[in-house]
Amino acid sequence: MSDRRRITTDDIEHLVTHGYVVIENFLTPAELKSGRACLSQYFPSPDRYFATPERYARLPSYIEFPFSGDALNYISTHPELIAFMEDLLGTRELRLAESRLQAKYASSDPPGGPDEVMHCDAWGPNQLVYPRDDGLFRQVPMILYYSDVTEEHGPTYIVSQQVTKGMALLSESPSEGPAVPYVTHSREAAPQLYEDAHPVLAPAGSLLVMSARTFHRGSAMSGSRAARFVHFITYRANAATWMSTQGWPPASPRANTRQLQSFIVNASPRQREMLGFPPAGHPYWDDETIAGVAARYPDIDMSPYRPA
């Protein structure tokens, strides 16, 4: 892998060693600007929100892919992310498992948002089995920041796997029910985890990459007019069918149809594959399927899928 990429071999080594890595300024200024412009269609700016917060009492918790405007869809399937995942997982057979937007404002309930307990994300809704952290078996969650994150913006606190090495990811209390790979540790029960955690502070456009086995927690916002805008993106190997994946075809004929149409038409063939679209050269493609897909997605360039 060339270190001229935005995510380098040193970054991958840090991720493997510590269970996380921060890529500052992953997005270019132009990508950040276009991503913010699309995000503003869903969430108000801090100035608008704090001027009349009562108007936004019913803001959704998350907005899911596909998005209005192509910038956020492109970022979800960014060529640099795809290249990084190929190197990390050791396969070209990849799937975009999650792509969600979230906005948090300091005046939410409770004020500043919740101060979470320490946990890792490798639990029931994310995997059917016990998580592994190598090769094809990795699940790779990421947080992309569209706003600066300082101590006032409720940063994620994260613990290096060098500290937690050897900890089993099983609940130990019978009162918690069946043993599952989802562990929460209160400050009273595991004070050392909280002492060893440090906040992820980064400028807008930065990317936090984690392992599903990495302990972390969200923190409450301390700034009176603080807001944080993030993009949760998760990838997995296509072979790891036991890991959760958002359903990309619309749940109904009208749900997100226009946004999905736009993405499929404007994406590269490789980006389409991240959603499960058959790659060029796949046995699926014949004269009938090429004509049918062209009819379903007007203006799509079908030349990559035609036999040479």
Q: 264 and 194, same structural domain? A: no
Average pLDDT of the segment spanning 295-302? 95
Kindly tell me the burial class for residue 146, based on how many C-beta atoms sit within 10 Å of its own C-beta (0-12, 13-18, 19 or more).
Answer: buried
Q: Where are the beta strands (DSSP E) in 75-226?
A: 94-105, 118-119, 139-145, 156-158, 184-185, 198-199, 207-210, 216-218
Q: 129 and 198, same structural domain? A: yes
Q: Give pLDDT tens digits for 1-18.
A: 545 799 999 999 999 999
Q: 141 and 227, same structural domain? A: yes
Q: 292 and 177, same structural domain? A: no
Q: 208 and 287, same structural domain? A: no
In a domain, 1, yes or no: no
Domain stops at, among 205, 227, 246? 246
Is the pLDDT assigned to residue 157 strictly greater than 70? yes
Total domains in the chain come to 2
Q: 117 and 31, same structural domain? A: yes
How far apart, in whole angstroms, are the C-alpha atoms of residue 52 and residue 57? 10
In a domain, 251, yes or no: no
Q: Give pLDDT tens digits for 243-286.
A: 878 887 765 455 568 889 999 999 999 999 999 999 999 999 99
Domain stops at, among 217, 246, 275? 246
In a domain, 121, yes or no: yes
Q: Where are the beta strands (DSSP E) in 169-290?
A: 184-185, 198-199, 207-210, 216-218, 227-237
In a domain, 2, yes or no: no
Q: 307 and 162, same structural domain? A: no
**Share of residues in the chain with pLDDT > 70 (%):** 88
Q: 36 and 168, same structural domain? A: yes
Domain that holds residue 297: 256-308
In a domain, 4, yes or no: no
In a domain, 176, yes or no: yes
In a domain, 106, yes or no: yes
CATH classification at residue 60: 2.60.120.620
Q: What's residue 112's pLDDT?
A: 54
Q: 279 and 205, same structural domain? A: no
DSSP reduced 3-state for 303: helix
Q: Give pLDDT tens digits for 82-120.
A: 999 999 999 999 999 999 999 999 976 654 567 888 888
Domain stops at, among 218, 246, 274? 246
Instruction: Look at 224 and 38; give whichever has higher pLDDT.
Output: 38
Q: 226 and 77, same structural domain? A: yes
For the chain, report the end-to-end CA distance as a whole number of angstroms. 29
Q: 294 and 173, same structural domain? A: no
Q: Give pLDDT tens digits for 203-220.
A: 999 999 999 889 999 999
Q: 109 and 238, same structural domain? A: yes
Tokens encoding 295: 């009819």
In a domain, 162, yes or no: yes
